Amino acid sequence: MHNTLRIATFNIHKGVTHFNARFSLHHQRELLRKLHADVVFLQEVRDEHSEHSKRFAGWPDAGQIEFLADAIWNDYAYGKNSVYPAGHHGNALLSKFPIIRSTNTDISAHITEERGMLHSVIDMPKWDKPLHTICVHLGLFAHWRRQQLLMVTDYIRQHIPPDEPLIVAGDFNDWGTRAGRIFAENAQLHEVFEHHAGRPARSFPSWLPILRLDRIYIRGFHVKHVEVHAGPRFLKLSDHALLSATLARAV
């Protein structure tokens, strides 16, 4: 049905496993393909790294985003957040539908930690309004996250019409969940796992999730299904679990 949307969010840990022990991008792409997601929110995408490209066999020549999108997701957007001598990394969005425009906004709360939010507008077939997506990766300290969520909330109020569907997803680093609840109330959003199970999903560490770090917030949708993809196999994939949701547009 054209009103049903399958999405996922995944912190890919720069395409390598814990402590940079193993190159996992090929396995990550295989996992993402099996989900049949229409839109994928990605964090810690390392699109260029001169040292890792020499160290790891199979490092994609064209960059991680293009490699992950390949022939499955026709469109993609990348928000470069952290730049260093060897390369750069940031947030990304993969979409099976045309991305009309993307804006990457710096929401860094401190000079030592570069963070951004990637806002993409997607042209959805047979929808009377576009789909707005915001992919985020928030800071490690609570007071930084509070500042960043205020910036995201202000951005939503200024740039996204209240009657247009919106998904905000990514790595919120908000293990206490309080900042997320305040954000959801202020931005008039609902967290999909909270809707189903009363609390956000446990997503870190991926092989035995304890902390509730990753989130999917929505506006203008009903939640049909949610799933946490985790377990021992993720030792070869990423330190974060992958979250997926099937949504039905509220009309």
Picking from 34, 45, 29, the residue whose alpha carbon sits closest to that of residue 6 is 34
pLDDT in tens, 2-55: 799 999 999 998 777 665 567 788 899 999 999 999 999 999 887 555 555 555
Number of domains in the chain: 1
CATH label of the domain that carries residue 112: 3.60.10.10
Three-state helix/strand/coil letters over 67-123: HHHCCCCCEEEEEEEEEECCEEEEEEEEECCCEEEEEEEECCCECCECCEEEEEEEC
pLDDT in tens, 105-153: 988 877 767 788 999 999 999 999 999 999 999 978 888 899 999 999 9
pLDDT in tens, 223-245: 999 999 999 999 889 999 999 99
pLDDT in tens, 64-120: 888 899 889 999 999 876 655 555 568 999 999 999 999 999 888 777 677 889 999
To the nearest 10 degrees (0 to 180), the angle between helices 142-159 and 178-187 is 10
Residue 39's SS3 state is strand
Give the separation between CA 193 and CA 239, rounded to whole angstroms: 20
- Chain centroid offset of residue 103 CA: 15
pLDDT in tens, 195-219: 888 899 999 999 999 999 999 999 9
Question: What range does the domain containing 241 cover?
Answer: 4-249
Comparing 51 with 188, the larger pLDDT belongs to 188
pLDDT of residue 47: 58
pLDDT band at 221 (very low <50, low <70, confident <90, very high): very high
